[in-house]
Amino acid sequence: MPKFEIEYTEEQLKAVSSYVEDPLAWLQHAWNNKARKRTDAIIEETTDKRASKLSGIEKEQIVRDADIPTATQRREEEKQSEI
């Protein structure tokens, strides 16, 4: 499983720590929430299935098998279509 590393200043940590008790847990939750929303959107966009009716394993398989562009690829395609 890929891992990410982030850099932050002491001031940024202090600012975020004034908002949340555990900045790492907060980041993990934000990541998981965005991934869940995008997973559901991918399912709705690429299948005729309702994401809310599927198990986590089914959702993972659909995303794994989906032929979806990355955000960078989408931006490049949009630039090309503007020309």
d(Cα 58, Cα 62) in Å, to the nearest integer?
A: 6
Tens-binned pLDDT, residue by residue, of the chain (83 aa): 899 999 999 999 999 999 999 999 999 999 999 999 999 999 999 999 999 999 999 999 999 999 999 999 999 999 988 87
Please identify which residue in the block is written with the tokens 């630039």.
Answer: 79
The predicted model scores a pTM of 0.79
Cβ atoms within 10 Å, residue 43: 21
Please identify which residue in the block is written with the tokens 């098998």.
Answer: 65
d(Cα 16, Cα 37) in Å, to the nearest integer?
A: 24
